[in-house]
Amino acid sequence: MTQKQHPIGSGFTAASTTDDVIKGIDLSGRNAVVTGGHAGLGLETTRALAAAGASVTVGARDPGRAAAALAGIDGVEVARLDLMDPASVDAFAARYAGRPLHILVNNAGIGAVPLARDARGYESQFATNHLGPFQLTLGLLPSLRGAHGARVVNVTSAGHQLAGIRWDDPNFATGYDPMLAYGQSKTANILFAVELDRRWAGDGVHGYAVHPGIVISTNLGRATPEDERRAQQRAMRLIDESGRPIIDPDREKKTPRQGAATAVFAATSPLLDGIGGVYLKDNDIAPLDDAERTIEFGTEELVLPGVAPHAVDPDAARRLWDLSVRLLGR
């Protein structure tokens, strides 16, 4: 397989915002779905797509709360979606049936949470960050095909460098580690995009995985007690002593509009026409990062140049797809 991880020279940078990357793009008549599109990076993604003319459906566990957060943004509707509940995922896809879907942003996710399991016994990060979006995307496939040109964008993380897929124990029946579980789920986001593109590009559906950088105003990590989270953020120099965010895009530390830009770029840029199955960061395709390294989260050194080979391996991507289908019982 030809290695696809080559920057294309988009002209954008780590500091570019959603407004920068979508400037001049008209999404009138286009439909989009953004999971968790009412908070953090998802809210900024929704705002940018709607401002360009798209009709956006936001999937949220609490539709009332989501609707309140989205008040004042035209062209947006809200539908209930709980990614840990297979029945909720199926119901969302069924409600959407009959409409073409041009953009699907699998944005909602959780990170580094204490061990929890869904009703099937599946580990919560793998279930929420991968299996739920995988099931949703399969359920929306008729709508994606009906768009005659669609993009699926999975929001991942440089945290994929922490772990590959635990093939013998993906649900951590033994030895749970919240960061390894997070890393596995983020690797799964990328492998899913790789295999989706291989399977569906012929139908006009392309897949992308995007790393947004670090945006501390998001809800990710909310399971950590506030005092502990703030101490970690100060140690990583994400906030100053008064608690204000430190913004340094070249070192991954971004505003919400900078963080969401890569997802919006992947979802809309004509520079990516005909290209898919790739990992992006800083509004461009990232290079392959095959350096051996030990990743230490909780330190200031956060910049990782590209995507780890294990996350774009086509054999692993096929294997994960088959495993996911089995776990869903489809």
pLDDT at 216: 75
Specify the fold of 18-328: Rossmann fold (3.40.50)
- Domain borders along the chain are 18-328
57 - beta bridge partners?
A: 33, 77
- Is the Cβ–Cβ distance between 269 and 247 less than 8 Å? no
Tell which residue, 143, 129, 114, has the closest CA to residue 36: 129
Helices in 97-253 by DSSP H: which ranges? 124-126, 132-139, 141-146, 178-200, 226-235
pLDDT at 242: 74
Torsional sign, CA 52, 56, 60, 65 = positive
Catalytic residue chosen out of the listed positions 122, 182, 208, 279: 182
Beta strands, E only, the chain: 31-35, 55-60, 76-80, 103-106, 150-155, 205-211, 278-281, 284-285
- Tens-digit pLDDT string for the chain (330 aa): 468 999 999 999 999 999 999 999 999 999 999 999 999 999 999 999 999 999 999 999 999 999 999 999 999 999 999 999 999 999 999 999 999 999 999 999 999 899 999 999 999 999 999 999 999 999 999 999 999 999 999 999 999 999 999 999 999 999 999 999 999 999 999 999 999 999 999 999 999 999 999 887 544 455 556 666 666 667 666 777 777 878 888 888 999 999 999 999 999 999 999 999 999 999 999 999 887 665 555 554 556 779 999 999 999 999 999 999 999 998
- Is the Cβ–Cβ distance between 207 and 194 less than 8 Å? yes
DSSP, res 248? B
Neighbours of 305 (CB within 10 A): 11
CA distance 229 to 95: 38
176 is catalytic: no
pLDDT at 1: 47
pLDDT at 243: 75
pLDDT at 279: 98
CA distance 75 to 26: 14
pLDDT at 296: 57
Q: Which burial class, exposed, middle or buried, applies to 23 when counting CB atoms under 10 A from its CB (0-12, 13-18, 19+)?
A: exposed
pLDDT at 219: 47
pLDDT at 298: 52
